[in-house]
């Protein structure tokens, strides 16, 4: 049995994402750096975190272009919807000076997610301070 203190930071990050997925019934969540490289993920059987991190990188490039070319402020959230109502939500944030993106796939338009992603971001920031 391992103690909580001996677990890696990546495992603790994955636990935060897994808990959020369970509470929100999300199929996949991934934490990436600003370039879209995965730091941690949690997913249901058959989901591919690597594919989602590549999409997150493309979404982030779009946000940077909007900021640089259109003069928009820093992005708080980017959402993509598909024809069936699934949504990919990307939440850029900073933790201890590091820019990150929390991306979550949400199964339908009516499902709430903001409180759960806020709580996950708070937990990630607390963990990143250690």
The model's pLDDT over 16-33, given as tens digits with 9 standing for 90+, comes to: 999 999 999 998 898 988
CA separation for the pair 12, 129 (Å, rounded): 13
Residue 81 pLDDT greater than 60, yes or no: yes
Q: Mean pLDDT of all residues in the chain?
A: 82
Total number of domains constituting the chain: 1
pTM of structure: 0.82
CATH code for the domain in which residue 71 is found: 3.30.450.30
Q: Flag whether 107 is in a domain.
A: yes
The residue segments making up the domain with residue 41 are 8-129
Closest CA to 63 of 37, 36, 82, 38: 36
Q: Flag whether 86 is in a domain.
A: yes
CA separation for the pair 127, 16 (Å, rounded): 10
Residue 58 pLDDT greater than 70, yes or no: no
DSSP 45: T
């Amino acid at each position: 049995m391992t103690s909580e203190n001996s677990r890696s930071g990546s495992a603790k990050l994955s636990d935060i994402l897994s808990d959020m997925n369970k509470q929100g019934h999300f199929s996949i969540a991934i934490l990436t750096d600003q370039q879209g490289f995965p730091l941690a993920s949690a997913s249901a059987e058959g989901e591919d975190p690597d594919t989602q991190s590549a999409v997150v990188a493309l979404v982030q490039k779009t946000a940077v272009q909007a900021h640089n070319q259109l003069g928009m402020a820093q992005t708080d959230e980017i959402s993509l919807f598909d024809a069936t109502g699934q949504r990919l939500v990307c939440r850029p944030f900073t933790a201890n000076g590091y820019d990150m993106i929390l991306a979550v796939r949400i199964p339908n338009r009516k499902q709430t997610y903001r409180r759960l992603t806020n709580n996950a971001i708070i937990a990630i920031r607390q963990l990143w301070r250690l």
